[in-house]
């Protein structure tokens, strides 16, 4: 089957996204490809919602417009925490790692957001931002690694589960 391209089944992508909304825990595993599809769908939907909100709010006064922008920012953060973080934990499980390596990434990310948002000393903000970017690249590197084959301490291999993958 070399040379055969995998086609994306958009119905499966959407169902996987909806399943991620319904999933409450972080148990199990997810492939790197499925995580990428989940993140892509999530951020496309958020972009559509935010752009639509901003276009509709563009006729408002500056103060009301700022409220809409802030609500969009909180929607992005809240829904991302609800969808993306558990999926990242399941991806870490697939690579054989526990979620205990995730808090440093989240702490530095929150510090970077606070440093830039609160307009703390510029040098400190830049330093925290650089650390956050380095840690983000490290996390992406970890998440892009091949998952462990077969059963590991977090469950069966995701591709082995019936209908789990979003590619044909």
- 3-state class (DSSP) for residue 155: strand
Q: What are the tens digits of pLDDT across the range 58-104? A: 676 666 777 777 777 777 778 777 788 888 888 888 888 888 888 88
Confidence band (pLDDT; 50, 70, 90) for 31?
A: confident
Indicate the range of 4-8, 13-17, 28-32, 102-106 predicted with least confidence: 4-8
Return the closest-CA partner of residue 40 out of 14, 66, 22. Answer: 14
pTM of the model: 0.69
Q: In this structure, are residues 166 and 12 in contact, taking their beta carbons and an 8 Å threshold? A: yes
Task: Please give the average per-residue pLDDT across 148-160, as a whole number.
Answer: 80
At 80 the pLDDT is: 79
- Identify which of 160, 163, 115, 128 has the alpha carbon closest to the alpha carbon of residue 12: 163
CB 112 within 8 A of CB 129: yes
Q: Give the separation between CA 166 and CA 70, rounded to whole angstroms.
A: 33
Nearest-angstrom CA–CA distance, 108 and 95: 22
- Taking the C-alpha atoms of residue 147 and residue 160, their distance in angstroms, rounded to an integer, is 12
- The token duo for 5 is 């391209």
Number of Cβ within 10 Å of residue 73's Cβ equals 13
Q: Say yes or no to pLDDT of 168 above 50.
A: no
* pLDDT above 60 (res 163): no
Contact 105, 40 (CB under 8 A): no
* Mean per-residue pLDDT, 150-162: 75
Q: How confident is the model at residue 24 (pLDDT cuts 50, 70, 90)?
A: low
Q: How many Å is the maximal CA-CA distance in the chain?
A: 59
What pLDDT shows up at residue 1?
A: 46
Output the pLDDT for position 91. Answer: 87
pLDDT of residue 63: 66
With cut-offs at 50, 70 and 90, classify the pLDDT of residue 4: low
Q: Is the pLDDT of residue 166 over 60?
A: no
Span 127-146, pLDDT tens digits: 887 888 888 888 888 888 88
Q: What is the pLDDT of residue 5?
A: 61
């Amino acid at each position: 089957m070399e040379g055969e391209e995998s086609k994306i089944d958009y119905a499966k992508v959407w169902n996987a996204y909806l399943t991620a909304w319904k999933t409450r825990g972080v148990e199990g595993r997810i492939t790197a490809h499925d995580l990428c599809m989940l993140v892509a769908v999530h951020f496309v939907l958020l972009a559509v919602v935010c752009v639509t909100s901003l276009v509709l709010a563009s006729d408002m006064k500056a103060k009301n417009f700022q409220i809409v922008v802030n609500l969009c920012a909180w929607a992005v953060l809240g829904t991302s925490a609800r969808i993306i973080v558990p999926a990242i934990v399941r991806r870490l499980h697939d690579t054989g790692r526990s979620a205990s390596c995730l808090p440093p990434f989240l702490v530095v990310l929150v510090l970077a957001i606070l440093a830039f948002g609160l307009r703390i000393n510029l040098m400190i903000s830049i330093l925290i931002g650089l650390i956050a970017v380095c840690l983000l690249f490290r996390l992406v590197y970890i998440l892009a690694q091949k998952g462990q084959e077969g059963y590991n301490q977090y469950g069966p291999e995701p591709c082995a589960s019936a209908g789990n993958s979003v590619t044909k």
